[in-house]
Amino acid sequence: MPVLKNVKHEAFAQGLAKGLSADEAYHKAGYSPNRGNATRLKANESIRARVDEIVGRGAVKAEATVARVLEEMRRLGFSDMRKAFDENGNLKRPEDWDDDFAAAVSSIEVVKRSIGDGEVEHIHKIKVWDKNSALEKMAKHLGMFIDRIEHTGRDGGPIQTETKTWREVLREEGGE
C-alpha cells in the first residue's frame, strides 16, 4: 500500500505504528483531541492496512520474526554457564564462546584486585540474562500455562442468569 494521500491520515498511521495510543497519534497528526474520532479513524480500513504495512516492514527490516524471537529466548533459557570455561576450568576468551552462550551473556565485568608484591589478580564477573523469564515466555507461547479465571455470583454462589427476548427487555426499559 502506498503512502496515504491524506497527510494527517498518514501521520496518524505512522504514530500508531510507532506504538502511540490512538489519542496520542490523533493529536500528533494535527487533529484537535477527540477520543471518539481517534477511535473511529483507527478502525478505518485504509489506516489499519497502512499500519500493518509499516509495522510489517519494520519487522522485516529488523529481521524480527516469531522464529527468531523464540530462538533468542531458547538461547537464554537453555544457556549453560559451563560453556564459559575450558576443560581445565579456565575462563575462555569471549570470542571462543559458542554463539548460544555468547547470546545469553548480558555483561562482563573485570575487577582488578591487588594480591601483594605488586601483583594484580583479575576477577571476571559474567552476568547472563534472566533464564526464568525466557523459559516462562517460551512456556506461555507453547500453551503450557493456562490462566483460569473463575467467576461467581453473590456470596460465592453460582451466577444467576435469565433469558429474555428483546421485546421483554424493551418493555422493562419503557421502550415499547
CA distances from 128 to 50, 80, 99, 134, 162 (A): 39, 10, 14, 12, 56
pTM: 0.44
pLDDT of residue 162: 85
Contact 51, 17 (CB under 8 A): yes
Contact 15, 25 (CB under 8 A): yes
Pick from 70, 63, 46, 38: nearest CA to 137: 70
Measured over all CA atoms, what is the biggest interatomic distance in the chain, rounded to whole angstroms? 99
Contact 28, 19 (CB under 8 A): no
Domain residue extents for the chain? 7-61, 68-134
Query: What b/e string do you get for 55-66 counting C-beta neighbours within 10 Å, with b at 16 or more?
Result: eeeeeeeeeeee
pLDDT of residue 85: 92
pLDDT of residue 171: 86
Q: List, run by run, the mean pLDDT of 10-residue segments along the chain (176 residues).
A: 86 90 93 92 93 78 71 90 92 92 91 87 89 88 78 84 87 75
pLDDT of residue 156: 83
